[in-house]
Amino acid sequence: MVRGATLPVVEDAVAPAVERRLQLLRAGGHRVTAARRAVLEVLAGAAGEHLSAEDVVQQAAARRPGVHRATVYRAVEALRDLGLLTHTHSARGATTYHLATGEPHAHVQCSACGILQDVPAAALADLAERLAAERGFVLDPGHVALLGTCRACSRGRDPGAQP
């Protein structure tokens, strides 16, 4: 980054979420780098949307042009490994990321329109208990998106249209 360059303004609603996570990094003895900050800003500003690594890289580059793409990819991996990001493997092949909230949840994806949504992990509690009891299998519901059809596609509407 060029000395004296103005950093992009982080939206007021996004700043507290970013700062909380930066404090966690510092408290854990981890460095706060421009790339890590940019990744957190992008995902905090995504309003719950699940972004691919490439989406994060492109948006981070727009926020902080001096940060190299490979550095952003490494920042995504580091933040995921530190538990600040959650990743999900979607049915359409892309691994997507969003800020970890601390609330256990699963993901569902519409096979028609591709929308990816969070659902409370409790929605799968009966299945998880049954798998554990019958097969000794411990379910990790947040790791892979479950496929189905969203309400809008089930009704034959455009998912972006108003109900």
pTM for this entry: 0.78
Give the tens place of pLDDT for each residue, 47-104: 878 999 999 999 999 988 988 999 999 999 999 999 999 999 887 778 999 998 888 8
Regarding whether 121 and 95 lie in a shared domain, the answer is no
User: So what's the pLDDT on residue 12?
Assistant: 61
Average pLDDT, the chain: 85
User: Is residue 6 included in any domain, yes or no?
Assistant: no
Query: Which runs of consecutive H residues, i.e. helices, occur in 82-124?
Result: none
Regarding whether 82 and 66 lie in a shared domain, the answer is yes
User: Is residue 77 included in any domain, yes or no?
Assistant: yes
User: Is residue 142 included in any domain, yes or no?
Assistant: yes
Name the DSSP letter for residue 149.
-
The range of the structural domain enclosing residue 141 comes to 105-154
Both tokens assigned to 3: 């000395």
**Cα 110 to Cα 113: distance, rounded to the nearest angstrom:** 6
User: Is residue 160 included in any domain, yes or no?
Assistant: no
User: So what's the pLDDT on residue 161?
Assistant: 56
Average pLDDT over residues 104-108: 90
Regarding whether 118 and 145 lie in a shared domain, the answer is yes
**Cα 49 to Cα 55: distance, rounded to the nearest angstrom:** 11
Higher pLDDT, 51 or 161: 51
User: Is residue 19 included in any domain, yes or no?
Assistant: yes
User: Is residue 8 included in any domain, yes or no?
Assistant: no
**Location of structure tokens 């798998």:** 131
Give me the CATH number covering residue 94: 1.10.10.10
Average pLDDT over residues 121-142: 91
- Backbone phi, then psi, for 6, in 5-degree steps? -80, 130
User: So what's the pLDDT on residue 11?
Assistant: 55
How many separate domains does the chain show?
Answer: 2
User: So what's the pLDDT on residue 103?
Assistant: 85
Percentage of residues of the chain with pLDDT beyond 90: 56
Regarding whether 86 and 150 lie in a shared domain, the answer is no
Give the tens place of pLDDT for each residue, 1-44: 223 333 344 456 678 889 999 999 999 999 999 999 999 999 99
User: So what's the pLDDT on residue 10?
Assistant: 47
